[in-house]
A and B are shown apart, each in its own frame.
Chain A
């Protein structure tokens, strides 16, 4: 298989065997859902329901008032029992609508198919996407419709669907590609139409040969859509790395993909777009991988948004070992959670539970200048220098050494034999640099 890739990167163990061959299972309806009014990058939503209100599945409960935002919807039918500030898996506490399920899962009357793709205008498509509350489901959770509305001076000519799934452990995208391949193709066509683009790609890492084959067969009669096999290497699914691998274009330092005429969408998001157009269903559930050595029965689950992690884990047989660390997302860029009493949100690509032994804290040693971090950095930075600058408060130097270009992929920290928390220090440098800029 001919593959393409980027320069740099690392080869963490894949550890996908536990779930890669497991069909997506529909999770049981949770008794209660906790739906944060902010599950995306941008402004939080305003609640449009009150405590005591009866809601139906798919009904809008939070309205997005600014452009960069996305509405949220009830993921079960039942009664709103409270609206309060609660813990959120992405850090700060967020205003959250708590709905007690009536177990009926009654669909809201608002949910109507959007019509077929031919008859929809680009504006219609974008409107459906916005109203469905769709955000980037690979983890970043940026409102999709905003991403599909570049300023008119930016000419977009290529859409790339990101099926790299380069994070170890995670297999949700892989399964979606196998089980919902038609939705991905449909979604891609919808995106191409919405943006007015002629060329579409689906990029898939070659550790998923079955998905590549399946998608390739599906697009064999589409002459403007191509499935590209990617070399399996982390962070192959990083937007800039993916664009470079497939088109050879380098997104300028500090710039967005649209500056080289490309928009990237994750496979889960793309399948969701198809669903929203075909059925009118907003984003109220998603596929996620529940895995790790502490999980009794690892699975790919279709879970309602707002289901607590605890509930999801119980549906996977609970813990078979004392959990040491719970991560939302993959092990390279995922977020460690303080508690499993947080809800699944739109950007939850997986729940990874490491055992006590695996969740170790590493003894840091001095930098031996081995330059492995330098070789690994997909942005060609000098992580060892940046970390040194950050440790000594040398923010000007850090800025001069392009700290702001760091995509925080963690490849540097991963390879460092001295176990130096490089990306953590570089993040610090980035925030200091930005703070100082604001003050100027």
Chain B
């Protein structure tokens, strides 16, 4: 009798369709509206920055993986996200080579030195951005106006230095100075809705993050709507604070993460030396994520109820 050749593996024998690739490409799709608006407002140079940053990220990842004899996994989309997110967090007038330097740094020192995908403690795009801010502080804080292409200040800068507010409509649509992908709240929200619908991000982080900023700015006599829509908060709350790898795995932990980041943003914006604090707030919370995970372990089924 002919024997069948049967595969023997441990259960379960079926798996969900979602893969790392699908999730990563989902995030990329969700970033398209913000990218398109960025290019629309800031022109071809913004597009160039986006392309250069993505390309640099992907190439750096490939080189690292080749060099270390790891399988090359650049098609999984994760390096593309890092490159794209970094670009969206850059001033639209930045020289292209600086974007490339930042992107290489983001992948090399933000991700690959830790062992690649899943092992990095900090959001790589924000590491790249922080590096650029430290190295090229002037370029990284020079903004152009989407209206006439001249140098301008961001709404947060105007507020901090001159006490001038910006009208809500411009803030919402993004017709303001700022990083390529952060100005249009509308575009970001469209992408965010897609991510929430797909279940690729947990609503707890953006809600607690934005909620904390809204409450605290109100408490300190500021305009909460202005603070929600100005600067990089929307982009940060939906696309960077929610980065799976660098945010807590527990639900309670995600609340703490969002609230913590919210407090930090308000502190930096109101009393810090910079007009904006989104990147640092997220990076700092990334740093305490392992700790948050450790102290927010859920009660195991049948554990506490029985004992107390």
Central interface residue in A252, A253, A366, A417, by most chain B CB within 10 Å: A417
Central interface residue in A324, A336, A358, by most chain B CB within 10 Å: A336
The bracket for how many chain B residues form the interface is 35 or more
A331 at the interface (CB under 8 A from B): yes
Q: Are A419 and B12 in contact (CB under 8 A)?
A: no
Q: Are B76 and A365 in contact (CB under 8 A)?
A: yes
- Min C-beta distance of B301 to chain A, whole Å: 4
Smallest Cβ-Cβ distance to B18: which chain A residue = A417
Assess A253 versus B300: contact at CB under 8 Å? Given A325-B6, A366-B119. yes
A255 at the interface (CB under 8 A from B): yes
Could you say which of A36-44, A141-149, A186-194, A376-384 contacts chain B? A376-384
- Min C-beta distance of A319 to chain B, whole Å: 8
Give residues of chain B (124-139) contacting chain A, Cβ–Cβ below 8 Å: none
Assess A251 versus B302: contact at CB under 8 Å? Given A323-B4, A371-B244. yes
Assess A410 versus B11: contact at CB under 8 Å? Given A323-B6, A366-B118. yes
Which residues of chain B are within 8 angstroms of A168 by Cβ–Cβ distance?
Answer: 14
Q: Are B16 and A414 in contact (CB under 8 A)?
A: yes
B299 at the interface (CB under 8 A from A): yes
A51 at the interface (CB under 8 A from B): no
CA gap between A250 and B293 in the complex, in Å: 25
CA gap between A324 and B6 in the complex, in Å: 5
The bracket for how many chain A residues form the interface is 35 or more
Smallest Cβ-Cβ distance to A415: which chain B residue = B16
Assess A368 versus B6: contact at CB under 8 Å? Given A417-B20, A423-B11. no
Q: Are B10 and A421 in contact (CB under 8 A)?
A: yes
Give residues of chain B (105-164) contacting chain A, Cβ–Cβ below 8 Å: 115-119
Main SS of chain B's interface residues?
loop
Assess A335 versus B11: contact at CB under 8 Å? Given A368-B245, A379-B300, A379-B301. yes
Q: Are A359 and B7 in contact (CB under 8 A)?
A: yes
Q: Are B10 and A423 in contact (CB under 8 A)?
A: yes
Q: Are B11 and A405 in contact (CB under 8 A)?
A: no
Interface mask (B1-25 → A, CB under 8 Å = 1, otherwise 0): 0011011111111111011101100
A332 at the interface (CB under 8 A from B): yes
- Min C-beta distance of B282 to chain A, whole Å: 15
Q: Are A325 and B13 in contact (CB under 8 A)?
A: yes
Assess A374 versus B249: contact at CB under 8 Å? Given A250-B306, A367-B118, A380-B300. yes
Which residues of chain A are within 8 angstroms of B248 by Cβ–Cβ distance?
Answer: 371
Q: Are B23 and A370 in contact (CB under 8 A)?
A: yes
B305 at the interface (CB under 8 A from A): yes
Could you say which of A222-230, A281-289, A337-345 contacts chain B? A337-345
A240 at the interface (CB under 8 A from B): yes
CA gap between A326 and B76 in the complex, in Å: 32
Interface mask (A246-279 → B, CB under 8 Å = 1, otherwise 0): 0000111111000000000000000000000000
B170 at the interface (CB under 8 A from A): no
CA gap between A291 and B230 in the complex, in Å: 58
B167 at the interface (CB under 8 A from A): no
Interface mask (B289-308 → A, CB under 8 Å = 1, otherwise 0): 00001000111111101100
**In-complex Cβ contact of B118 among A251, A368, A419 (8 A):** A368
Q: Are A405 and B20 in contact (CB under 8 A)?
A: no
**In-complex Cβ contact of A337 among B6, B73, B116, B301 (8 A):** B6
Which residues of chain B are within 8 angstroms of A3 by Cβ–Cβ distance?
Answer: none
Q: Are B11 and A332 in contact (CB under 8 A)?
A: yes
Q: Are A371 and B301 in contact (CB under 8 A)?
A: no
B65 at the interface (CB under 8 A from A): no
CA gap between A325 and B88 in the complex, in Å: 47
Between A and B, 6 residue pairs with Cβ closer than 8 Å are: A332-B13, A336-B13, A365-B117, A368-B117, A368-B244, A418-B19
Additional A-B contacts beyond A358-B14, A382-B293, A414-B16 (19; CB < 8 A) = A168-B14, A250-B301, A251-B302, A325-B13, A326-B4, A331-B13, A332-B14, A336-B10, A337-B6, A354-B13, A359-B13, A366-B117, A369-B244, A371-B250, A382-B250, A417-B19, A417-B22, A417-B23, A423-B10
